[in-house]
């Protein structure tokens, strides 16, 4: 397949051959050295090495190839550099668009994190309110029990225990 990608005279045949190549080093060589820019773009779409993509986005002679690499880049500092310094307007726009895309993702993630934090704080406040309510009920129950205990004689409490004991046999 590699031979077809490099020597066949028909662009369509080369592009079809690219689809069957999976070796990263072969794809990198094709992306950097093939004389047909569309074939280089097809190879770039299959490359996963970010440093290679960064390099192609900054160094390739053909703007379409640089744009294809930009569409795969995750490095914001490289994108910012390209957006500021590339000689081609199309490449600068592609880098700016990619940066904007990351900012939108970050903004969405930040909103989701804030929403999750608010829900967590709300749940914590609800747990605290429930704990306070339980504490108040315990205090009321303890006060009632204390009053009940002090107002009844030990003999009455013994009879009451016997009554409940007989009731549940």
The DSSP element (H or E) to which 27 belongs, if any, is: helix 24-33
Give the least confident one: 37-41, 81-85, 104-108, 164-168: 164-168
| b/e 5-40 (16+ beta carbons within 10 angstroms → b) | bbeeeeeeebbebbeebeeeebbbebbbebebbbbb
CA gap 35, 32 in Å, rounded: 9
Question: Which tops the pLDDT comparison, 140 or 57?
Answer: 57
- pLDDT (0 to 100) of residue 146: 47
Query: How do residues 11-42 score in pLDDT, each as one tens digit?
Result: 899 999 999 999 999 999 999 999 999 999 99
């Amino acid at each position: 397949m590699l031979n077809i990608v490099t020597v066949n005279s028909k662009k369509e045949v080369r592009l079809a051959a690219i689809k069957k190549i999976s070796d990263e080093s072969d794809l990198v060589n094709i992306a950097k050295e093939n004389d047909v820019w569309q074939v280089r773009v097809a190879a770039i779409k299959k490359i996963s090495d970010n440093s290679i993509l960064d390099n192609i986005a900054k160094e390739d002679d053909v703007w379409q190839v640089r744009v294809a690499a930009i569409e795969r880049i995750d490095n914001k500092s490289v994108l910012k550099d390209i957006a500021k310094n590339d000689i081609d307007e199309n490449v600068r726009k592609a880098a700016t668009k990619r940066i904007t895309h990351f900012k939108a993702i970050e903004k969405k993630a930040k909103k989701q994190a804030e929403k999750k934090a608010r829900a967590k704080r709300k749940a914590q406040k609800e747990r605290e309110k429930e704990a306070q309510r339980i504490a108040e009920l315990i205090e009321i129950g303890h006060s009632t029990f204390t009053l009940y205990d002090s107002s009844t004689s030990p003999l009455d409490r013994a009879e009451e225990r016997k009554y409940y004991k007989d009731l549940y046999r």
